[in-house]
Amino acid sequence: MMSATVQSTGTVGPQETLGDRMHALAARLYPICRSITGNGVRQSLRILSEMIPLELHEVPSGTPVFDWTVPREWNIRDAYVANARGERVIDFRRHNLHVVQYSAPVRARMTLDDLRSRLFSIPERPNAIPYRTSYYKETWGFCLTDTQLRALQPGEYEVVIDASLTDESLTYGELFLAGETDEEVLFHAHCCHPSLANDNLSGLVVAAFLADALAKADRRYSYRFLFLPGTIGPITWLARNEQRVSRIRHGLVLSGIGDAGPFTYKRSRRSDAPIDRAMQHLLTSAAGTAQIRDFDPYGYDERQYCSPGFNLPVGCLMRTPHGTYPEYHTSDDNLDFLRRDSLEESLRLLVDLVYLLERDRRCVNLSPKGEPQLGKRGLYRSTGGTGVDARHMALLWVLNLSDGSFSLLDIADRAHLPFRLIEEAASELETAGLLRPGPQ
């Protein structure tokens, strides 16, 4: 069922790899000035809608959502600082990180000394523009490279931010794929960062490709994909869907999964939820370089799903953790920083996760008294005298532990064998009449 269709995601033209296609989508989204509200988010979600049947929701500014209020909508058309000769020395048109996100509109003339407290750079990384926001405190400012800042001459400057903060709405994207049960698997990606590639385009792109693959597959679980602005997005979604969240069986926040680093998985607040065990199994049986971290109440939007009033089984998948790489939240987190092979590997890991979640089950051995004779059923593979191969071991483990109390994931962990091998062994044994589904 599941796997065949999902794997067909990899069927691409002879020259173009799956990673190329993923990177190309990121490149299309990269120049758009997204924020927690506004036309940049709408435009980005519409681009994703070309690929997956995403539903766009608009929540009016001023709507109370738990302890928060949906903010005014921010849109920006232009912004610059120009010198006395009219030359733009800081220009939003060159890079949308040049403006502090949610800057209030301004038109002023001021001296460099007066302007200085509004200018932000990173002295330790002199050629990078920092990413700064001020969503909930009205202010304005510009970000620039430290090299640019040092080159500014004393004198008077024209300062323009042609932006608006208006009572409109907050936009988010949602895709629900119904399965055989109404139990849900949730995937979340934030969509509020402007021209930053790993932090947040990698999550958007991988989630969109996964959703596309799942939309074409048979599904036991229902799947929900959320493309939300950071913090206020999941808080808004949770406030509007409180009655529905008990259906969420497994959830994952996807963020920063396109850089060259190894995977990092942050456990849910519960720490032993099935998603935690599944990710641990997949990551430790793979490359071996992955890190598993315990939950802490800082980070991405797992914070909202794992707040004590919800305590949902939602973990977070990253590669290099946020804040620990020098490109993080700067203009150096760009399309060159985003690796095609990393995007593709992240997608494949999630396809493996879905396969595991879909097919994990408890089984009962129908011939539990002594080992059943595998040879007469064509299941005996050992070449005799040279030891047993992993496939044969998988059959023996499944038969031995299938007393109805252990799931296939339990067996895979105990056998130190990949889930897929254990699952294939279980399917073979079911076909041979040696195994039946147990209590779930």
- Kindly list the residues in this chain that would bind Zn ion in the complex (CB under 5 A): 199
C-alpha dist (Å) from residue 26 to 42, 51, 197, 334, 397:
16, 13, 7, 10, 43
User: 96 or 402: whose CB is closer to Zn ion?
Assistant: 96
User: 130 or 438: whose CB is closer to Zn ion?
Assistant: 130
CB-count burial class (<10 Å; 0-12, 13-18, 19+) for 102: buried
Strands 403-407 and 362-365, by their bridges, are antiparallel
User: 199 or 259: whose CB is closer to Zn ion?
Assistant: 199
Rounded to whole angstroms, how far apart are CA atoms 273 and 270? 6
* Min CB(196)–Zn ion separation in Å: 7
Phi/psi class of residue 296: alpha, beta or left (left: φ > 0; alpha: ψ in -120 to 50)?
beta
* Min CB(209)–Zn ion separation in Å: 21
Rounded to whole angstroms, how far apart are CA atoms 360 and 352? 12
Cβ-proximal residue to Zn ion, closest one:
199
Angle, vertex CA 148, rays to CA 145 and CA 152, nearest 5: 145
Q: Which of 426, 2, 437 is nearest to 177 (CA)?
A: 2
Strand order of the sheet with strand 435-437? Answer: 403-407, 362-365, 435-437
* Min CB(193)–Zn ion separation in Å: 6
* Min CB(109)–Zn ion separation in Å: 34
* Min CB(199)–Zn ion separation in Å: 4
* Min CB(322)–Zn ion separation in Å: 6
User: 189 or 374: whose CB is closer to Zn ion?
Assistant: 189
* Min CB(44)–Zn ion separation in Å: 15
User: 196 or 312: whose CB is closer to Zn ion?
Assistant: 196
User: 129 or 363: whose CB is closer to Zn ion?
Assistant: 129
User: 101 or 236: whose CB is closer to Zn ion?
Assistant: 101
Tokens for 390, please give them.
């992993």
User: 289 or 298: whose CB is closer to Zn ion?
Assistant: 298
* Min CB(143)–Zn ion separation in Å: 14
Residues 155/83, Cβ–Cβ less than 8 Å: yes
User: 199 or 302: whose CB is closer to Zn ion?
Assistant: 199
Beta bridge partners of 56: 173
Q: Which of 150, 340, 315, 335 is nearest to 248 (CA)?
A: 315
* Min CB(91)–Zn ion separation in Å: 23
Rounded to whole angstroms, how far apart are CA atoms 23 and 338? 8
User: 141 or 230: whose CB is closer to Zn ion?
Assistant: 230
Q: Cβ–Cβ contacts within 10 Å for residue 394, how many?
A: 26
User: 199 or 358: whose CB is closer to Zn ion?
Assistant: 199
User: 189 or 408: whose CB is closer to Zn ion?
Assistant: 189
Tokens for 58, please give them.
């608009």
Residues 170/342, Cβ–Cβ less than 8 Å: no
Rounded to whole angstroms, how far apart are CA atoms 434 and 195? 56
* Min CB(113)–Zn ion separation in Å: 32
* Min CB(167)–Zn ion separation in Å: 26
CB-count burial class (<10 Å; 0-12, 13-18, 19+) for 85: exposed
Tokens for 326, please give them.
């020098």
Rounded to whole angstroms, how far apart are CA atoms 101 and 139? 10
* Min CB(329)–Zn ion separation in Å: 6
Q: Which of 161, 157, 156 is nearest to 140 (CA)?
A: 161
Give the DSSP H or E segment for 306.
none
Give the DSSP H or E segment for 104.
none
Rounded to whole angstroms, how far apart are CA atoms 107 and 110? 10
